[in-house]
Amino acid sequence: MSYRAARLAAVPFMMVAFALRIVTEFGVTPLTYALRSAEWSVAISTASAVTAVLIPWGGYWLCTRPAWHRAAEWGVDTDRRRFVADLTPRWAGPQCVFIGWFSGSLVPHERVPGMDQVRIADLGIVTDVFTVCAVVGLILGAVVIVAGYPRLTLDPGGVAVHRLMGWRRQFGWDELVPGGPPPPTGRNPRVVTVYRRPPPESPHTFRPWHLRADRLHVDPAFLAHTLRRYLDHPEHRPAIGTEEELAALRAAFTPSPVG
């Protein structure tokens, strides 16, 4: 399974988490009403809610785990002459499952008076608002997964992070400080940090720019190596976005052991 297919597989597991949370609230919770022990009632409700998120999360992990490995690789967009790293399934899956689970909890519900049953709460516009929020949460979760945001791109002009709604943060190579970022010192680091040059008239020193390496489907050490290559060697920048340059990147990359 490719990492893109693994990422897209998060959408059905999100729907499973949503459905299980609904079943928990409307199916399991009523069973606790007949219990005389409040402690047992709370324990069963809590366990069912936790199970509703663990089942789809575990299922996603079992189905897609091989695709979670982030290799020393970039996507090559030859048409736009850029390297691309988009959303990794190791982050997309758990987050998507949680979105589905949380969206299911937004549906208002209440106990039917005098009965061991649960129904959608009649709160007027409040019920409508929370129900719409649940649907919107599912839609946004699916859109983020399908679109693959956030996405990091490198082109001859610089580095950019793309997000939904066309939002983009971009810096030219000459706006960043050479000599970094250093190789990651831990396994699966959350961020890779580069430093921006301050404006000539600014009294401030170099300012950090933290790239969320944990969300990108590229080996963080290879990401740091790539950035160092283009910050320290401007002569290589025009070749960005070609298969030949990607091969050169791999050939120059020496993975270092991390603890």
In the numeric block, the tokens 């960043």 are attached to: 176
131-142 residue pLDDT tens: 999 999 999 889
153-172 residue pLDDT tens: 999 999 999 887 778 888 99
Q: What residues does each domain of the chain span?
A: 3-70+88-147, 151-252
In this structure, what is the dihedral angle of CA atoms 212, 65, 51, 143, given to the nearest 10 degrees? 50
pLDDT higher for 16 or 67? 16
Query: 119 in helix, strand or coil?
Result: strand
In this structure, what is the dihedral angle of CA atoms 146, 58, 138, 153, given to the nearest 10 degrees? -30
Give this prediction's pTM.
Answer: 0.80
Q: Which helix (H) or strand (E) holds 13?
A: helix 10-23
In the DSSP assignment, the letter for residue 188 is: S
25-34 residue pLDDT tens: 888 888 888 7
